[in-house]
Amino acid sequence: MFMPLHSIARLPGGPLLGLWHLTETPADLWPQLAGAAAYTPLLPARADGPRQAQWLAGRVLVQQLLAAAGAPPATLRNDETGRPFLLGPAAPAVSISHSGEWAAALLAPAGVAVGIDVEAVRDKAQRIARKFLNDHELAAIESITLADAAPGSASQELFSLLWSAKETLYKLAGQRGIIFRENLLLDLPAGPWPVPGILPARLQINGAISRHQICYLRPAAGYVLTYCV
């Protein structure tokens, strides 16, 4: 049986961060998913083999996190905004993400806002930067470098990290109608950034501002991950 659970780490305050290195096919993953019959109608209609494997790996990983937390098994659903949640009274808060060979999940006590995102480093984020970064953020990028970035892909990694950070903020907010350039704000310090590290951020929604700390790291070469509790 394939069991590529990469790691489960307990974060300060008790939340659990899980990483799954995806090597299986959907046929390998379905038997690992408890209550698989409940998930069959939830599988996205357009999920091909690789995407179905990612979808399944994320849900198997959440089951592993529930077991590690000593919480009862629960089925993962999505609300009207697409935000995942676990069925059951006082069920833990959860956020999941997947990209390429990696799935990631964050589990926290009920009522806690969480967000997580993993991204394969590629040029797409850099190409669409003006769609999700505001003018202040774009200007700040000129003075930023990432420690130990792979030669030839430093810019792609930085833009992928910033896209991931805004995806994490979006999941943390859990609302429709959010404009990435206006409502999800990154306070980008100048100079070299350590990896792993912490990035200050703000949610500015309906005239209210909340401040957050986004943690970032490299789960593997060619990938970036961000999360916030």
Work out how many domains the chain is built from and give that number: 2
Buried b (16+ CB within 10 A) or exposed e, 134-163: beebeebbeebebeebeeebebbbbbbbbb
Instruction: Indicate if 45 and 130 belong to the same structural domain.
Output: no
pTM: 0.95
Domain ranges, residue 185: 119-217
Write down the pLDDT at residue 84: 93
CA distances from 170 to 41, 89, 112, 130, 173 (A): 26, 25, 15, 17, 5
Domain boundary among 66, 85, 112: 112
Instruction: Indicate if 157 and 95 belong to the same structural domain.
Output: no
Q: Cα angle vertex 1, ends 66, 27, to 5°?
A: 85
Write down the pLDDT at residue 1: 46
Domain boundary among 112, 145, 163: 112
Write down the pLDDT at residue 52: 93
Instruction: Indicate if 141 and 90 belong to the same structural domain.
Output: no
Instruction: Indicate if 157 and 142 belong to the same structural domain.
Output: yes
- Confidence category of residue 152, pLDDT binned at 50, 70, 90: confident
Write down the pLDDT at residue 3: 63
Contact 226, 214 (CB under 8 A): yes
